[in-house]
Amino acid sequence: MKKSIYIIILTLSTFFLTFKSCGLLSAAGLSNKGLPIKEVNGKLTSTTVNSSVNLNHDAWTVLLKKYVDNQGNVDYKGFKKDHVKLTEYLNYLSKNKPTTNWSVQELLAYYINVYNAFTVALIVENYPVSSIKDIRGPWKKKFIPIGDETLSLGDVEHKILRKMKEPRIHFAINCASHSCPKLLNEAYEASKIDQQLDVAAKKFINSSENKLSEKQLYLSKIFDWFGKDFISDATPTIASFINAYTKIPIQANAKVSYFDYDWSLNEKK
């Protein structure tokens, strides 16, 4: 009996530490603040025709092309010097609160850009830092104004984007760390959202953050933390999901292990 209780306590402790390490601890308190969420049903297409609004994210693209290289390394010093332009874009996002008349494509692009732009702003505000985890409560801090609501990065990721049932968002949002999927140096747009998410997925899955072979997978902790997000009728296992984005013929019973996560800042040297 005592041995059983010990095992239960050990299991819960492991669960607790895992979620704490990736900023997921205490989902209680996270909220979507009533902002609209639409699930992706079937194949996502890129289009702007079925949305009541088509936001212009060109200002974000200009900044990204200027301060993010092709490897996803970020020039935070440059962003800090250009804080006026960054603030103008953040204000633009804040003033354009989504409605239920927005398409799923427009919502995805908006929320992904919100997450990435406000993450950059958080680093810039606290710069210099060696890791986002050096900032107190980076994913719980309520600092993202959208309309008359204020959200945290955790709200945007877990209570909005993950609820939209599009697993590729995990390769699009960037947590300012080396082990994160690379920050794309262009804004996400409804008109090409499917293609952009596909590119992000292929780049990350086939990057050095994962080591793939037919019988053995060494994967990013993202596939461990958010494993259930990648499982569906079409992809009942992590291996089957990854198979769609690599030329390596991974076996259905391939063994899976996970790399440690590098939380050091993804700063351009």
Give per-residue pLDDT as tens, 213-223: 999 999 999 99
pLDDT tens figures, 8-35: 444 444 433 444 444 444 455 677 889 9
Position 9 scores a pLDDT of 40
Query: Mean of the pLDDT values across residues 160-180?
Result: 98
CA distance 58 to 89: 9
Strands (E), 68-178: 144-146, 149-151
Six-digit token string for 138: 């980076």
Q: Specify if 131 maps to a domain.
A: yes
71 near 12, Cβ under 8 Å?
Answer: no
143 near 122, Cβ under 8 Å?
Answer: yes
Six-digit token string for 193: 């959202």
Q: Specify if 254 maps to a domain.
A: no
pTM comes to: 0.90
Number of domains in the chain: 1
Question: Could you list the residue range(s) of the whole structural domain that residue 122 is in?
Answer: 28-209
pLDDT tens figures, 42-73: 999 999 998 999 999 999 999 999 999 999 99
pLDDT tens figures, 65-101: 999 999 999 999 999 999 999 999 999 999 999 999 9
Give the residues across from 218 on adjacent strands: 211, 257
169 near 161, Cβ under 8 Å?
Answer: yes
- Parallel, antiparallel or unpaired: strands 149-151 and 144-146: antiparallel
Three-class SS state of 149? strand
CA distance 56 to 58: 6
Q: Specify if 90 maps to a domain.
A: yes
Position 190 scores a pLDDT of 98
Q: Flag whether pLDDT at 6 surpasses 80.
A: no
Q: Specify if 235 maps to a domain.
A: no
Q: Which residue has the higher pLDDT, 149 or 11?
A: 149
Would you call 197 exposed, middle or buried from its count of C-beta atoms within 10 A (0-12, 13-18, 19+)? buried
Q: Specify if 8 maps to a domain.
A: no
Position 31 scores a pLDDT of 74
Query: Mean of the pLDDT values across residues 212-239?
Result: 96
Q: Flag whether pLDDT at 3 surpasses 50.
A: no
